[in-house]
Structure 1
């Protein structure tokens, strides 16, 4: 019988453990503000930019148009984004952050910053920055561009 490596011998497994822990705590934090992590990511993708067609937002976020539509419907219902129709093409519309959404994004960003600071404080500032640099190098090397939503 051949030798089988332990789960914790796999870097991907360790990254997933860390990612899940960071994400789950952040999800609890933003839930207190009435949004999901996916909704936060979409709000942040829209924040500070021009109105954008859902298809372009789907490409930017690496999601399907259907998934974007579902997220948009939830955020519209919460009053955090606005949908503006196109007078020339009744099927076309754009999405942008509403005034209420624009007020909420800095608060959610602060929660994300606090979540990172609390979780990664164990590393110390220098090691944390080095770790982020290593992750960015992996992202660049593998051409990762899809925005993680969940």
Structure 2
């Protein structure tokens, strides 16, 4: 019988710890925003629209690194919730733009506060210099691998 190879334990991998922390942070935030009636993916779209007066869905898809189909599905859900509006594009009457509704504009700051609260719950265990270092490390990894899509899951 051949010798059994020695394998690293699961928790010997950096990815293990990264995934453990990521899952907890993501799931905690998902629970918070779901109490406000939206998903994390919907929050991403709402937050992107908050800084704009209106944007073409195709441009929004490009900016977020999502497919046009994904943006369309999210927009449809947010339209049903009356959190966004479709408007005629002032430059091209055949095209449409997406913008926050009054209700959406009121909701985004509450959701942003939940995002801040979630970050604090998970990352206040680190001194501010370690938080900055962790952020920089994760940005470098994302850049090194060309990760540009906004995480929505």
- TM-based fold match above 0.5: yes
1:41 to partner: Cα distance: 0.6
Give the total of aligned pairs.
149
RMSD: 1.7
Q: What residue number does 1:66 align with?
A: 69
Q: 1:22 aligns with which of 25, 46, 54?
A: 25
1:76-106 CA distance string (max 9 Å, x none): 111111111358554x311111121111111
Instruction: Give the aligned partner of residue 105 of structure 1.
Output: 108
> Which consecutive segments of 4 or more residues in structure 1 shift more than 3 A?
85-90
> Whole-Å Cα distance in 2 between the matches of residues 9 and 56 of structure 1?
42
Where structure 2 has 5 or more consecutive residues not aligned to the other structure, the ranges are none
Structure 1 counterpart of 2:138, from 132, 135, 149: 135
Match of 1:95 among 95, 98, 109: 98
Question: 2:67 & 2:145 partners in 1: Cα distance?
Answer: 21
Q: Give the TM-score normalised by structure 2.
A: 0.88
Give the CA deviation at 1:149.
Answer: 0.5
- Structure 1 gap ranges (5+): none
